[in-house]
Amino acid sequence: MPGHVGLVVHPRRDIEAALRKLLECASNHDMEVGQVQIPGQSRTVADPVEVTSCDLVIALGGDGTALAALHAAAPASRPVLGIACGSIGVLTSVPAEKLEPALDQVAAGDWIPQRLPGLDITVGGEELTVAINDVAVVRNGAGQVIVAIEVDDELYARTAGDGLVVATPIGSTAYTMAAGGPIVLPQVPSMVVTPLARHGGVSPPLVVGPESRISLTIESGYGGSRIEVDGRLLADGALDATVRVRNEYATMVTLAGEESLLAGLRRRALVIDSPRVLVRDKRTARDSS
């Protein structure tokens, strides 16, 4: 049973009711609660605590909060439980109203560590950071950005458009899916490369094996370009970048009996049946009543 819990909270969202319930449940299970400090965030809800002294990290907010918690916890190899507070929440697997039974399960040891890969990002020959969801090359303003995509030194395509996204399997349900890329299940080790609003040419989304290396040569347009990692700015300008898989970078708590990724996507209406099928279902239900 975790004795020390570190909180990572959304910087602005209303989390007060969930926080009160969490503190109450933690007290019932003799858990000590502190707050893990996130750079650039000033909201304070508990005394500060080092992530290395925590047995468990809990994220209260949405997927962005969960990503911040996963990044904070990864160097110390601490597991993260995501609680969705008014969010769609793919990484935050527990809705706030189910916080109490979720903590009961965690206290009872009724959970599974899900190891998440990361993406090592090297820019200009210097290894800068790790992504959990994705790394995106995007145009900064007017004009297009041209990106040459190589896989293990073999050219795949040179794209001109809004840029591209390289995602992990867990990140394939985020920016990549919004751009028309495939959903990759967590048990399929891989990276996904998805061009963004390309101007002509043929370069469909590409799934790359975990041992491969993706090299990106970026040519900025008139408005420039930037590289974002998990939605945060990493670098500006025409650069060369390399992306590789880092296995088991972070750990997410999966509760016993938790719904599958596909079931969760359908429940959240991120994946919806064809309107033709839905209309047919309504007609069949009406005819049988």
Positions marked active-site: 63
Q: Which residues make beta-bridge pairs with 94?
A: 83
SS (H, E, C) the chain: CCCEEEEEECCCCCCHHHHHHHHHHHHHCCCEEEECCCCCCCCCCCCECCHHHCCEEEEEECHHHHHHHHHHHHHHCCEEEEEECCCCCCCCCEEHHHHHHHHHHHHCCCEEEEEEEEEEEEECCEEEEEECCEEEEEECCCCCEEEEEEECCEEEEEEEECEEEEECCHHHHCHHHHCCCCCCCCCCCCEEEEEECCCCCCCCCEEECCCCEEEEEEECCCCCEEEEECCEEEEECCCEEEEEEEEEEEEEEEECCCCCHHHHHHHCCCCCCCHHHHHHHHHHHHHHC
What CA–CA distance (Å, rounded) separates 262 from 250? Answer: 21
Q: Do the Cβ atoms of 5 and 33 come closer than 8 Å?
A: yes
What CA–CA distance (Å, rounded) separates 92 from 254? Answer: 10
289: Cβ contacts below 8 Å, ≥ 6 apart: none
Handedness of CA 75, 81, 87, 88 (dihedral sign): positive
